[in-house]
Structure 1
Amino acid sequence: MAELVYPPVIGAARTLFKVLDLRFDIAGTEHIPRTGGAVLVSNHIGYLDFVFAGLTARPAKRLVRFMAKESVFRHKVSGPLMRAMKHIPVDRAQGEDAFRHALTSLRSGEIIGVFPEATISQSFTLKKFKTGAARMAQEAGVPLLPVALWGTQRLWTKGHKRNFGRNHFPITVRVGEPMPADPQESAATLTSRLRERMQDLLEAAQRAYPDKPKGPEDAWWLPAHLGGTAPPAPAV
């Protein structure tokens, strides 16, 4: 079936990025498989993370179907777009239907995008991961694709006004090698290994990031352990 909405939305997003004069440093896209199902797993630091994580699949000519909270699908603007792009609504109180929907998509060869922290990390560090992504990959017999984003929080994140001025913001993205999801391994252990791998990727993205805060008032987007003023990370 032809994709009538997703490609134009990607085109509109790329135009917006040019208007904002964003600078991209994306590495590891060769790890995105050109065919077959996979669970793309990303950290979550800003409202537009699904856009930036989805960009990693463009060189492989793939589209990522993201799992997102149901309220996004009820919005009068984002709802029709999300449904047309075949993203998957998640009712956090009853997630079984979304899980089954994702499994069906994975088995049919789709890439499903998941934020295992379930919500934006206001400390900009990795929160505790839920095991759903690992369980999905194990049941569908597909690999996990770890992705780390950095810099997206400066555009629009929880507790801060969105900043869509022409700011020359760098956006750094790192894609790791696919991780096999052995069904004989416990989902908790696999999730722990996934989180460790994503921590390595996140630290690599932070080291590569070319910008520093311009002063104390601009240090909000940097984690406390890196000298910024973001809230301290909760214990995991």
Structure 2
Amino acid sequence: MLYRLMKYVLLGPLLRLLWPTKVTGLEHIPRMGGAILASNHLAVADSFFMPLYVKRRVTFPAKQEYFTEKGLKGRLKKWFFTGVGQFPIDRSGGSAAQAAIDTAIRLLREGRLLGIYPEGTRSPDGRLYKGKTGVARIALEARVPVVPVVMIGTERVNPIGSKLWRPRKLEIRFGEPLDFSRYDGLSGDRFVERSITDEIMYALMELSGQEYVDVYAAKAKELLAAEEAGVRPAVPAQPGALDRARLPETKAG
């Protein structure tokens, strides 16, 4: 009820009015059953605009801090992020990461749509960074398709560090679903999970036209911060790095 109120009455109409968005490929989203919407991640705004144009409810994992802050501000944050379809995850350690994966698998097996950012965090400079293999493990365990999604222009709506959103025209592209059923039973195989993740990132690169960097975004942020402090060089661009990372088409035995 709260989700529908936010999407159709309170937040949705305002977002549509101030940020006109071109959306293509909605037909690629399954009409029922579990599926992963794997997206690039340019800004906080991504989690608001993408679900707005999907008829089904999209659930996103979000930082636990959004739900645990004390006081009136904390209660308002919890109400808001719950209302836009997000659920809390603890990102503090290995067991917490497994708990987040388990929750995602459970939601998918219940037939829900799950939004995931394989990069793990926002891109620091608009380029596409190396994906984390959690998305592959979730897809294999839940046995669901992965729909690549790209957001275009959201980094100009709320650049990193900005508090006010700026009116801009946006674009959202949904790609054809990726089917990894040929790898059923191979969850936990690091090579398979890395290959699947790279295929997802390749699809995002082709769909978005972003330059790819074969480094995790979190590490890139550390290096860029160090560069600003005059300590280390920035992350070098590696366009085309995924051209050699596509999965073989043969069925795993």
Query: TM-score, normalised on structure 2?
Result: 0.72
Structure 2 match to 1:74: 68
| C-alpha deviation, 1:97, in angstroms | 1.5
Counterparts of 1:138-153 in structure 2, within 5 Å, are 138-153=140-155
Cα root mean square deviation, aligned: 2.1
Are 2:44 and 1:50 equivalent residues in the alignment? no
CA distance in 2, matches of 1:163, 1:86: 20
Q: Identify the range of structure 1 (112-121 vs 92-101) with the bigger mean alpha-carbon deviation.
A: 92-101
Residue pair 2:43, 2:155 contacting (<8 A) in 1 also: yes
Residue pair 2:147, 2:176 contacting (<8 A) in 1 also: yes
Q: Give the number of aligned pairs.
A: 199
Residue pair 2:15, 2:49 contacting (<8 A) in 1 also: no
Amino acid at match of 1:79: K
Q: Deviations over 1:63-121 (max 9, x none)?
A: 01101111122242221333355532121122122211111110110111111111111
Highest Rg: 1 or 2?
2
Which stretches in structure 1 are left out of the alignment for 5+ residues? 205-231
Residue pair 1:149, 1:172 contacting (<8 A) in 2 also: yes
SS in 2 for 1:65: strand
Are 2:22 and 1:16 equivalent residues in the alignment? no
Q: Which has the higher helix share?
A: 2
Change in CA separation of 1:71 and 1:34 when aligned onto 2, cut-off 3 Å: same
CA distance in 2, matches of 1:159, 1:56: 26
Residue number among 205, 208, 225 corresponding to 1:202 in the alignment: 208
Residue pair 1:40, 1:146 contacting (<8 A) in 2 also: yes
Q: Identify the range of structure 1 (120-129 vs 192-201) with the bigger mean alpha-carbon deviation.
A: 120-129
Q: Which runs of 4+ in 1 moved over 4 A?
A: 232-236
Q: Deviations over 1:205-226 (max 9, x none)?
A: xxxxxxxxxxxxxxxxxxxxxx
CA distance in 1, matches of 2:236, 2:11: 33
Which stretches in structure 2 are left out of the alignment for 5+ residues? 211-233, 239-253
Are 2:125 and 1:123 equivalent residues in the alignment? yes
CA distance in 2, matches of 1:19, 1:39: 28
Amino acid at match of 2:62: A
Identical aligned residues as a percent: 33
CA distance in 1, matches of 2:124, 2:200: 21
Change in CA separation of 1:161 and 1:179 when aligned onto 2, cut-off 3 Å: same
SS in 2 for 1:25: strand
Counterparts of 1:55-204 in structure 2, within 5 Å, are 55-58=52-55, 62-75=56-69, 76=74, 77-83=76-82, 87-93=86-92, 94-164=96-166, 167=167, 169-181=168-180, 182-183=183-184, 184=186, 186-203=192-209
Residue pair 2:43, 2:159 contacting (<8 A) in 1 also: yes
Structure 2 match to 1:213: none
CA distance in 2, matches of 1:72, 1:30: 32
SS in 2 for 1:186: helix
